[in-house]
């Protein structure tokens, strides 16, 4: 059964509802594929594999294109003229990666056509079609046109060359550098296939805390081998570039972006990479952040650094993703303000092939953060979203947390940068400010664990990230439901309660870790478990006490106009809302305000009581998740069923740990009793 988990959401179990099975079996008698590319062959094979599982028998894949009940696939220019004519309108409306799935009826003949402008589009169409069957939807009268809204939909692997994974909780890195390039692990192919099934088209295979060795010929040869595996799945490889690489592997004395030898070194390096990997995507750079080298080491700035690298890859069509995750101890009144202060003045100064990659919130992937104020503040610069799929601050791969809920909350946030409706989604998909390069990255939660992600439900976060990268306007509910159907079962008695459990899981983790806008109160270094008392770290902005500021008078970080004034970094409408305790959403209250323990919340309770009750609610929610899951044994294989059961037990225990630790600690300041309904710490 371990092998079943390995198949992720591509289980292709036989359809159990006989009426639906019948419909599918009679509608699909054969497959005809136009075109002979590697990608079309992959699409064809996927269909055969998927259909033989779902329908319970093999489908002939070389059927005559004119036969009725044939599934026809191919790019538009490979189709017969009749089929081309038949889908002209639809294909005109899709982009290069989009697809059309259409039922075509003429006389007694009925066919389903999957077409696109490119081979990759056809592959995406095939996966979409299989999803319809996996989720038991009707295929009677199909008329689907779909295109991704964001160009670059990528995973960021924080994988080191020794195969450890920074903030990775699912085993070691997938990439076996020692055996590459000759040995191609089947896992690379399955990885590419899983990504293609959700539309992911890029991967940064190494850590943002980069090792320059990846850029040496010894490693580039291995990277080239991976790129070759991923290419037919529509996935481009990108690398992180260590800014000091010209010194470390190039024997230069400096990495100053103004130095002509340094510029030449990067140009030559780019040419060398592109000679091996003609479709290489480009570089992701973490510079002058958490001790990483960067242009500031030479008195230059982010624009200087990014543009130098951009010029090196531009002749080959490459891009530079320059990260905005910067903060320094020298300007520590409010870490949340620093990235904005450092980057916003550079708006419009980056080259056309630079995209600035911004984390969803201004601190660091906390269970809840208000959207990053940079979104909406740099209209002349394309901004790329960076979400974390790996659960660095959300219980690693031990806690069940359905992250698309978090992603959706951020994507739907209104920046008001061009008036009401200027959502974060519209900024990153380029529609608000008319950008050509658009992107979204997810820090991967994948490793070499048998089930890829450690927690069986963490697969849903990989899946859901891909779905939202394709369409940032999609509802996380739909995504959860699809994932459950594809992975486990189509039984309503399973879907409904387990979907609810997933959808609530994100609020649960916020409640038992950081309710009401608290943040960064985890234990230090590993970031697992509570540590609100930690106050002795070498950099002030690493200490949890810096963030919650609990004292006898109250709790919370005053980022309003009476405090650090971080609220002023938002558009006036948003700034005003956050600035005022009466309009600030309670879920963000202590992010923006320092309030007395007796402050009254909308429920009429004091802040202290409300905080305690939220912690308790989180614990109760996990208890309810346990109860729900315990009745689901009939719908799930034994191994994942038991694994989730054990994991939920740990999560329940640790939710109480969080509640007790935080409440006992904060109680020293509030000096108040726990309200009724909150369990006493044992």
Active site (catalytic) residues? 290, 364, 392
Pairing type for strands 354-359 and 554-555 reads unpaired
Residue carrying the six token digits 């450092």 = 342
Q: What is the nearest approach in angstroms of ligand GCU to the Cβ of residue 157?
A: 12
The DSSP 8-state label assigned to residue 530 in this structure reads: B
Contact 628, 497 (CB under 8 A): yes
Q: DSSP alpha helices (H): ranges in 288-343? A: 302-313, 338-343
Contact 334, 564 (CB under 8 A): yes
Q: What is the nearest approach in angstroms of ligand GCU to the Cβ of residue 172?
A: 16
Q: Is 22 helix (H, G, I), strand (E, B) or coil?
A: helix
Residue carrying the six token digits 């963000």 = 588
Contacts with 447 (C-beta within 8 Å, 6 or more apart), sequence order: 165, 168, 169, 170, 171, 172, 173, 174, 453, 454
List of residues contacting ligand GCU (CB under 6 A): 166-167, 208-209, 286, 290, 325, 364, 392
606: left (phi over 0), alpha (psi -120 to 50) or beta: beta
Contacts with 562 (C-beta within 8 Å, 6 or more apart), sequence order: none
Residue carrying the six token digits 């996935």 = 235
Contact 338, 377 (CB under 8 A): no
Tell me the CA distances in angstroms from 125 to 62, 75, 196, 477, one per residue in order.
Answer: 19, 11, 10, 22
Q: Is 338 helix (H, G, I), strand (E, B) or coil?
A: helix
Considering only CA atoms, which of 306, 299, 293 is closest in space to residue 266?
A: 306
Considering only CA atoms, which of 403, 425, 404 is closest in space to residue 413?
A: 425
Tell me the CA distances in angstroms from 362 to 366, 416, 519, 581, 586, one per residue in order.
Answer: 9, 18, 11, 20, 18
What tokens were used for 241? 């570039």
Pairing type for strands 354-359 and 595-596 reads unpaired
The DSSP 8-state label assigned to residue 263 in this structure reads: H
Contact 441, 387 (CB under 8 A): yes
530 phi/psi in degrees, rounded to 5: -75, 150
Considering only CA atoms, which of 32, 12, 15 is closest in space to residue 23?
A: 15
Contacts with 604 (C-beta within 8 Å, 6 or more apart), sequence order: none
Q: Establish how many alpha carbons lie within 13 A of residue 419's alpha carbon, considering only the half-sphere containing its beta carbon.
A: 0
């Amino acid at each position: 059964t371990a092998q079943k988990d390995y198949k992720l959401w591509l289980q292709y179990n036989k359809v159990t509802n006989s009426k639906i099975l019948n419909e599918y079996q009679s509608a699909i008698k054969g497959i005809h594929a136009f075109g002979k590319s590697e990608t079309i062959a992959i699409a064809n094979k996927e269909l055969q594999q998927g259909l033989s599982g779902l329908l319970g028998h093999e489908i002939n894949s070389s059927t005559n294109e004119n036969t009725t009940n044939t599934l026809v696939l191919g790019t538009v220019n490979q189709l017969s003229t009749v089929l081309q004519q038949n889908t002209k309108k639809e294909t005109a409306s899709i982009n290069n990666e989009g697809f059309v799935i259409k039922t075509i009826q003429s006389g007694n003949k009925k066919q389903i056509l999957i077409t696109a402008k490119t081979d990759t589009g056809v592959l995406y169409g095939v996966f979409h079609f299989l999803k319809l069957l996996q989720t038991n939807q009707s295929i009677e009268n199909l008329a689907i046109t779909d295109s991704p809204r964001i160009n670059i939909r990528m995973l960021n692997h924080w994988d080191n060359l020794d195969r450890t994974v920074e903030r990775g909780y699912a085993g070691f890195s997938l990439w076996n550098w020692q055996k590459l390039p000759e040995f191609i692990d089947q896992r690379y192919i399955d990885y590419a296939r899983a990504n293609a099934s959700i539309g992911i088209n890029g991967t940064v295979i190494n850590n943002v805390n980069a090792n320059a060795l990846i850029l040496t010929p010894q490693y580039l040869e291995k990277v080239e081998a991976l790129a070759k595996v991923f290419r037919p799945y529509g996935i481009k490889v990108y690398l992180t570039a260590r800014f000091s690489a010209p010194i470390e592997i190039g024997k230069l004395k400096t990495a100053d972006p103004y130095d002509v030898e340094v510029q030449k070194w990067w140009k030559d390096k780019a040419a060398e990479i592109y000679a091996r990997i003609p479709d290489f995507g480009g570089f992701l750079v973490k510079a002058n952040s958490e001790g990483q080298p960067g242009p500031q080491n030479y008195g230059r700035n982010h624009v200087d650094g990014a543009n130098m690298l951009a010029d090196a890859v531009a002749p080959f069509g490459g891009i530079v993703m320059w990260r905005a995750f910067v903060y320094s101890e020298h300007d520590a009144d409010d870490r949340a303000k620093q990235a904005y202060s450092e980057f916003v003045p550079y708006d419009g100064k980056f080259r056309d092939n630079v995209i600035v990659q911004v984390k969803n919130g201004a601190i660091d992937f906390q269970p809840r953060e208000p959207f990053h104020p940079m979104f909406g503040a740099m209209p002349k610069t394309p901004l790329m979203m960076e979400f974390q799929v790996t659960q660095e601050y959300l219980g690693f791969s031990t806690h069940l947390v359905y992250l698309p809920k978090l992603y959706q909350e951020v994507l739907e946030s209104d920046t008001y940068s061009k008036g009401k409706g200027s959502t974060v989604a519209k900024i990153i998909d380029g529609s608000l400010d008319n950008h050509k390069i658009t992107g979204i990255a997810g820090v991967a939660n994948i490793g070499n664990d048998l089930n890829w992600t450690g927690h069986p439900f963490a697969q849903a976060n990989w899946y859901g990230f891909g779905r939202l990268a394709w369409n940032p306007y999609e509802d996380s509910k739909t995504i959860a439901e699809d994932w459950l159907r594809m992975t486990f079962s189509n039984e309503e008695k399973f879907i409904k309660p387990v979907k609810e459990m997933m959808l609530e899981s994100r609020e649960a983790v916020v409640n038992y870790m950081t309710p009401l806008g608290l943040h960064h109160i985890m234990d230090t270094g590993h970031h697992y478990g509570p540590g609100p008392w930690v106050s002795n770290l070498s950099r002030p902005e690493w200490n949890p006490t810096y963030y919650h500021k609990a004292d006898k008078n109250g709790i919370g970080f005053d980022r309003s106009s009476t405090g650090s004034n971080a609220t002023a970094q938002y558009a006036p409408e948003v700034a005003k809302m956050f600035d005022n305790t009466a309009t600030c959403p309670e879920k963000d209250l202590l992010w923006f305000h320092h309030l007395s323990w007796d402050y009254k919340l909308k429920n009429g309770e004091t802040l202290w009581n409300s905080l305690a009750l939220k912690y308790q609610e989180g614990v109760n929610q996990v208890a309810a998740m346990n109860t729900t899951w315990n009745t689901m044994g009939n719908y799930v294989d034994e191994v994942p069923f038991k694994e989730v059961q054990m994991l939920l037990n740990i999560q329940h225990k640790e939710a109480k740990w969080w509640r007790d630790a935080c409440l006992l600690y904060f109680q020293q300041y509030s000096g108040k009793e726990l309200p009724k309904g909150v369990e006493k710490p044992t």
